[in-house]
Amino acid sequence: MTTPRGDFRPPGLNADEPTTLRVFLDYLRESVIAKTGGLTDEQAREPGVESGTSLAWLLSHLTAVEHNWFVWSYTDTGELMDDDAVPDGTVAELVAGYREAVGRANAVIEACDDLDTPGARSLRETEAPSMRWILVHMVEETARHAGHADILRERIDGAVGR
């Protein structure tokens, strides 16, 4: 289930399920990070919509979500992180924190031999979901926020594309 590091292209059409899910998730993670490239801290913190969402907030939110689903929920370790916290730190620090959370999440994913294996607990009032469910959920969550990041970045300086 290992993803080649530094290769964030979507997988080929005939990749196995674990590889497909992991590579798409890594691709989306890197897409969100790429949206912060070249911005000042002030630009990244500037709310781009009425709700107050900013690129810095998206990084902070996704850091917590990675930790909460893969570490707190699946392995029953660590403290639950606030996924709606006001981000603290520079853009570089937020990106580094996100990469660290992704690294821990990927270690949990790689340690799972069967995608049907449920985690230790759930973030919802349901039974603990399987690794498959968590991966699909995180692809959905990260893709949704990557789209938000696209719009926010375009509003900041007109930059479009990955």
- Read off the pLDDT of residues 59-69 as tens digits, 9 standing for 90 and up: 999 999 999 99
Q: Are 119 and 128 in contact (CB under 8 A)?
A: yes
pLDDT for the residue 160: 86
Beta bridge partners of 117: none
Q: Are 118 and 75 in contact (CB under 8 A)?
A: no
Report the amino acid identity of residue 113. D
The arrangement of secondary structure in 17-157, i.e. its CATH architecture, is Up-down Bundle (1.20)
Q: Mean of the per-residue pLDDT values for the chain?
A: 92
What is the Cα–Cα distance from 66 to 9, expressed in whole angstroms? 21
Residue ranges per structural domain of the chain: 17-157
Q: Are 87 and 36 in contact (CB under 8 A)?
A: no
- Read off the pLDDT of residues 38-84 as tens digits, 9 standing for 90 and up: 999 999 999 999 999 999 999 999 999 999 999 999 999 999 999 99
Q: Are 131 and 109 in contact (CB under 8 A)?
A: yes
- Read off the pLDDT of residues 87-120 as tens digits, 9 standing for 90 and up: 999 999 999 999 999 999 999 999 999 999 999 9
Instruction: Give this prediction's pTM.
Output: 0.92
